[in-house]
Amino acid sequence: MTALQRLAAVLGALLLVTGAARAADAPATTILITGANRGIGLEYVRQAAARGWNVIATARRPEAATELKAFAAANPAVVIEQLDVTDFAQVDALAAKYRDRPIDVLVNNAGVTGTMQDQAFGRHSDWAVFEQVLRTNTIAPLKIAEAFLPSLLASQQKKLINVSSSEGSIGGVTQPRLYFYRASKAALNMEMRNVALSQKGKGLLVANINPGMVDTDMMAGMPKAMLRPKEEAVKDLMRISDQLTAENTGRFWDYSGKELPW
């Protein structure tokens, strides 16, 4: 081995050691997940913890979140916070608590559907239910994004993930149903497109993602053969989140990785 080759080998080894040291010193990713007590949210907690991330798991009624509490008890990196996403005083209080802590990934997962019977236009429309659906699925995610924006922008990853639905695709609608739910998700997509455009210069990465028909309590009564396992759905959500860049921010994704029509 020549002197030049020995020098190159030493430099290469130093670079490897330096890179490993930097990786070891880098803070673990922190993720905040709303609606983490069951379904997609709870599975998101599990998979994020498996990656070694710090997890802030929120639930409207933590005392009733048996599975989440058991998982957190066995995983010190998981912290449970009480949060009713429709209570904006609670949102502000939680955001203030974490104001000085960077949050790499914020997942707006909490949502409601409303029953088919309550949104049967021309037969029965329960407008109080419509208000609840809009406040939970549309207004709350925007409020949460704004409240936690300083923590997101202070992080390394700066990712805002919104669990949307193909039911919110205006271009994909061919049959009438779920008037309230569809409107809430279409509005979610639009507002988060605006957020992506307004914050792109600051490095915020935004994605609206359709997880498909997932085997959760929300889909109770549907044939199991039509439903996707929660594990697969969350893997897809995280894969798309991992692939976010400044070039593809603000888009509406299907779990397959294809873009959906607005």
Chunked into runs of 10 residues, the chain (262 residues) has average pLDDT values of: 60 52 68 98 98 99 98 98 99 98 99 91 94 99 99 99 97 94 98 98 99 74 75 98 98 97 96
Q: Please report the pLDDT score of residue 219 as a whole number.
A: 60
Distance CA 130, CA 254 (A): 25
Q: Please report the pLDDT score of residue 102 as a whole number.
A: 99
Q: What is the pTM of this model?
A: 0.87
Q: Please report the pLDDT score of residue 21 as a whole number.
A: 43
Question: What residue ranges in the chain does DSSP mark as E strands?
Answer: 30-33, 54-59, 78-82, 105-108, 119-120, 124-125, 159-163, 205-210, 251-254
Cα dihedral 198, 171, 241, 255 in deg (nearest 10): 170
* Structural domains for the chain: 29-254 (3.40.50.720)
Q: Which residue bears the tokens 């997509």?
A: 189
